[in-house]
Amino acid sequence: MIEKTDDLETCRAIRREVFVIEQSVPEAEEWDGKDGEAIHLIARDDQHAAIGTARILLIGDTGKIGRVAVLKSARGTGTGAALILAALDELRALPGITRAKLGAQTHAIGFYEKLGFTAYGPEYDDAGIPHRDMSREL
């Protein structure tokens, strides 16, 4: 189950586990001060435990999907794809939003391509992890 949430504490706990602990993203880079202006999504398993999160920032006519994190125990269950599809549904419901974009870790480009995103621009470093920008029309 994916839903919008104001429970930033739980979202941040998932992001801390995935990005800060597993991927060694520096705390200062993970907590960029933009959570207060974002739409947050949370994924829950059948027992209602939080297992994933994503956030959406609105920039002009574009929704930027980011901070997509799924706990290790829930990976491979379709939770990541469900979060992206839910984010796209949220964006489609907003007037004036016509495009979605994200910064994909390069190992995940194929995952996002299956969801309709196309990579563009050069590879870049974000928190020590190679990324490429990707986008899709809504």
| pTM attached to this predicted model | 0.94
What integer best gives the mean pLDDT of the chain? 96
Q: What is the pLDDT of residue 88?
A: 98
Give the Cα separation of 56 and 33 in Å (integer). Answer: 13
Give the domain CATH number at 85: 3.40.630.30
Q: Report the chain's terminal Cα–Cα distance, integer Å.
A: 22
Tell me the per-residue pLDDT of 54-101, one tens digit each, with 9 for 90 and over.
999 999 999 999 999 999 999 999 999 999 999 999 999 999 999 999
Give the Cα separation of 82 and 128 in Å (integer). Answer: 27
Domain containing 76 equals 2-137
Structure tokens that stand for 77 in this block? 């269950």
Q: What is the pLDDT of residue 116?
A: 97
Q: What is the pLDDT of residue 8?
A: 97
Number of structural domains found in the chain? 1
Radius of gyration for the alpha carbons in the chain, expressed in angstroms and rounded? 14
Q: What is the pLDDT of residue 84?
A: 98
Structure tokens that stand for 70 in this block? 């799924």
